[in-house]
Structure 1
Amino acid sequence: MVREAARRSPAFAARLAEAGIDPASVATSDLDRLPIQSKDDVLALQHATPPFGGLLADDAQPRRIFQSPGPLYEPELTAGDGWRWAPALSAAGFTAADRVLITFGFHLSPAGAMFEAACAEIGAAVIPAGVGAKDLQVAACRDLQISAYIGTPSYLNALLEAADQEGVELGIERAFVTAEPLPPSLRDALQARVPVVRAGYGTAETGHLGHECDQVDGWHVPEDALVQICDITTEVARTDDGEGQLVVTLFETGYPIVRFGTGDLSAWHDQPCPCGAATPRLRGWMGRVGDAVKVRGMFLHPRQVSQVLAGIEGVAAFRVVVERADHRDQLRVELVAGDAPADLTDRVATAVQDGLRFRAEVRLVDALPDDGPVLVDGRTWD
């Protein structure tokens, strides 16, 4: 795979050469010599050599092209269940008899499309709902007898609350949730209403990387991806149960994803799963490497905050604070402004929604720490 990827992808060939790796004789053990590639690294490549940074093979024909915040462009090359989520849905009890409400976005980002493809693989009907218009989604659940849900756990909780306000029993029997942590308190609240709630893990770049079984104790990794837990300092793959960055290699040569650092921390389970599956298990999400924060299923970077807010006239200092209330992420923009124009907070709110894709409360404050971060994660998960 490495040899073929190097032949097809100029940027990947250059990456191997820089690490002193000969693609003609490379072995799996040589991968630890290849520096981990972060999302920021890929973004820098794309900025230097647009649009795909030299990673996309000249003979590759993307079926679709998605845009993630950055902007980062991600080609879809494989037809069918290319992100490989179908086994995770099957493990959660999804079948061809289900009607599935997908509440991930279908606009620019790949989340909605990847789960639609997985549902097609198992033969389930899809309602491509996206986020918002909860009243219409509640009506669809009632009228269409929707039996399954895919989305974030916090949005499922909000949908259940919206149904309660309308006096509607959703009737959802199983849910597959991902893109944000599922703390015990929220899991308990959801399982009081939805009989089966299973969590999974993946990224927009790599697709499915792990899912829960009926033991609900960690994520079984798929067999069609090489998943490593790498030491934060040495970048060498760990074989013990210590914490490290989750690093992924896929086997697609048209757009090589090799030693890709997700930025998420996890660790291996050191005991076999009672379910009997032989695949290794991750112990779940343990935090982030670096400064990026995942908000409502999407990554938010400090540099994005600065790009959006730094040029707004009247703003002397700023920061964005992420908090959590009632199992929902909330953003607050704090501004220092001398003689603030009357419309400053409205202009900032609009800029944040347009540039960061989030609605936020905007608040004027007297001062902010001189050396403080521009993005603060104040959430607790319990």
Structure 2
Amino acid sequence: MYYTEYETEPREKRMKRKWKGVREVLWEAEKSSGEFQSRLRDLGACVKDIKDWDDFVKIPPLRKKNIIKWQAEHGLGWFLNCEPGKLGRIYQSPGPIYDPEGVESDYWAWSEGFFAAGFRPGDLAQMTFSYHMTPAGLMLEEPLRDIGCAVIPAGPGNTEKQIEFLTQLPVTAFVGMTSYLKVIGEKAIAMGYDLENDFKLEKAYVAAEPLPESLRQDVEEMFGITVRQGYGTADVGCIAYECSELGGMHLSNYRHVEICDPATGLPLPDGEIGEVVVTPFFLDYPLVRLATGDLSSIDVSMCGCGRTARKLTGWKGRADDTAKVKGQFIYPSQAAAVFQKYPDVANWQIQVKNPDGRDVLVVLLESAIEVDQNGFAADFQASMKLKPVVEVVEPGTIPADAPKLVDERTFD
């Protein structure tokens, strides 16, 4: 079963439809987006010069660090074709970066992914993504309601309350991060619950972090459920999603996705690893060739599920100086503002580790005198939305030319 007829359309027909969608975005962006007008001026071109895909890829990609900079300089309206008050919602993600949401149904395009993961009318889904400020909770709730599911807006954390919902209500579906579902399961076992008999879970839809097969297997066996993942960002929503056959994630039918050389912004041959670049079919907030910073590759083989969209082969790392931890991006430039409050810190480094499949954020502080570690952790969390483990080290421990962010995780 499929959610829309687009999922099985011939690939050539799909590309013609997507070109029409991209052209509409280009015309709207040229008319209303100061950001895109600036890129066109730098390119010495106008939209009427962009006649095919070969012309399209000459447009330089738009990077998130530039969105952050230009939103601060020009305001959100510089990117929009409408007054901000005519949008559906406006969120804020780390950076900080404002994420507008339009008023169309299934604006973030997650419904196909949920349906492919087995979500059906009558499912009761427990949503553990945040509803506060960032878009994840509402972004993923609304497509569930469109399908016909009921939703428990549990939000993140408060694990004992999560277990209460899962045991006292007939919750059939979990939405959140795989690592957190594992934490819930381990806590429930420690409390004496039998996960397969005391829980009614049948499936989980996970996102916002890499999913190693070892973690998927652990959680599937722990609960006796299926786990399927989606891939997207707070800027564009769904980019790709898994089906029953696994083996990669089908590209969304409502975004044009490229794999590009991070240095040149030009598309790479299918199968080569490069940066994921996305053009969503938004007209109120036209984004053209948004560079996500994520690395992946394209699999062109046909899938046994019958869907004809090509697949991303999974997350292969980052192409820039950011890292995604527990669904939040860490920007060294944003973190630097926290360190400026502590003038006795001579040098610093953020390290991302993944012991036992759980992300841990470690902040090293070089200081010759005592540092208020609890105060620093609170300031860091207030700005970055993640609580770090703080370690104070002797001056000279961190090389002067060392990167400010080191991602030590491996996802075999």
Q: Which has the higher contact order (CA 8 A, sep 6+)?
A: 2
Structure with more helix by fraction: 2
> Does the CA contact (< 8 Å) of 1:103 and 1:151 recur in 2?
yes
Q: Which amino acid aligns with 1:345?
A: Q
| Residue segments in structure 2 that go unaligned for 5+ positions in a row | 1-23
Question: Equivalent of 2:154, from 107, 124, 129?
Answer: 129
Write the deviation string for residues 145-197 of structure 1: whole angstroms up to 9, x where unpaired.
Answer: 10101111111111111211222333311001111111121011011024211
1:298 maps to: 328
Deviation at 1:216, TM superposition (A): 0.8
Question: Equivalent of 1:5, from 29, 32, 56?
Answer: 29
2:308 maps to: 278
**SS in structure 2 of the partner of residue 321 of structure 1:** strand
Question: Equivalent of 1:352, from 375, 380, 384?
Answer: 380
Q: Which amino acid aligns with 1:85?
A: W
> Does the CA contact (< 8 Å) of 2:301 and 2:310 recur in 1?
no
Deviation at 1:25, TM superposition (A): 4.3
Question: Equivalent of 2:296, from 266, 286, 292?
Answer: 266
1:180 maps to: 209
Deviation at 1:325, TM superposition (A): 2.2
> Does the CA contact (< 8 Å) of 1:178 and 1:201 recur in 2?
yes
Written as runs of structure 1 = structure 2, the 5 A alignment for 1:298-377 is: 298-340=328-370, 344-366=372-394, 367-377=397-407
Higher mean Cα deviation, 15-24 or 273-282? 15-24
Written as runs of structure 1 = structure 2, the 5 A alignment for 1:218-257 is: 218-257=248-287
Percent of aligned pairs sharing the same letter? 37
Deviation at 1:11, TM superposition (A): 2.5
2:13 maps to: none
In 2, the alpha carbon distance for the partners of 1:132 and 1:241 equals 38
Q: Which amino acid aligns with 1:104?
A: F
1:70 aligned to 2:86? Answer: no
**SS in structure 2 of the partner of residue 54 of structure 1:** helix
Question: Equivalent of 1:156, from 181, 184, 187?
Answer: 181
In 2, the alpha carbon distance for the partners of 1:76 and 1:23 equals 25
> Does the CA contact (< 8 Å) of 2:28 and 2:81 recur in 1?
no
Q: Which amino acid aligns with 2:232?
A: G
Deviation at 1:358, TM superposition (A): 1.2
1:20 maps to: 44
Q: Over the residues paired in the alignment, what is the CA RMSD in angstroms?
A: 1.5
| Residue segments in structure 1 that go unaligned for 5+ positions in a row | none
> Does the CA contact (< 8 Å) of 1:11 and 1:55 recur in 2?
yes
1:203 maps to: 233
In 1, the alpha carbon distance for the partners of 2:148 and 2:304 equals 29
Structure-1-length-normalised TM-score: 0.95
**SS in structure 2 of the partner of residue 16 of structure 1:** helix
Q: Which amino acid aligns with 2:70?
A: L
**SS in structure 2 of the partner of residue 326 of structure 1:** helix
**SS in structure 1 of the partner of residue 298 of structure 2:** coil
Q: Which runs of 4+ in 1 moved over 6 A?
A: none
In 2, the alpha carbon distance for the partners of 1:105 and 1:94 equals 20
Q: Which amino acid aligns with 1:21?
A: A
> Does the CA contact (< 8 Å) of 2:328 and 2:385 recur in 1?
no
Written as runs of structure 1 = structure 2, the 5 A alignment for 1:130-145 is: 130-145=155-170
Write the deviation string for residues 216-266 of structure 1: whole angstroms up to 9, x where unpaired.
Answer: 100101111111111223311234211111111112222111100011111
Pick closer, same or farther for the CA change 1:196–1:348 going to 2, 3 Å.
Answer: same
Deviation at 1:350, TM superposition (A): 1.4
**SS in structure 1 of the partner of residue 354 of structure 2:** strand
2:69 maps to: 44
Q: Which amino acid aligns with 2:374?
A: D
In 2, the alpha carbon distance for the partners of 1:157 and 1:27 equals 49
In 1, the alpha carbon distance for the partners of 2:352 and 2:69 equals 26
1:189 aligned to 2:218? Answer: yes
Higher mean Cα deviation, 133-142 or 245-254? 245-254
> Does the CA contact (< 8 Å) of 1:305 and 1:374 recur in 2?
no
Write the deviation string for residues 288-337 of structure 1: whole angstroms up to 9, x where unpaired.
Answer: 11110110111101112212113314222221211112321111221121
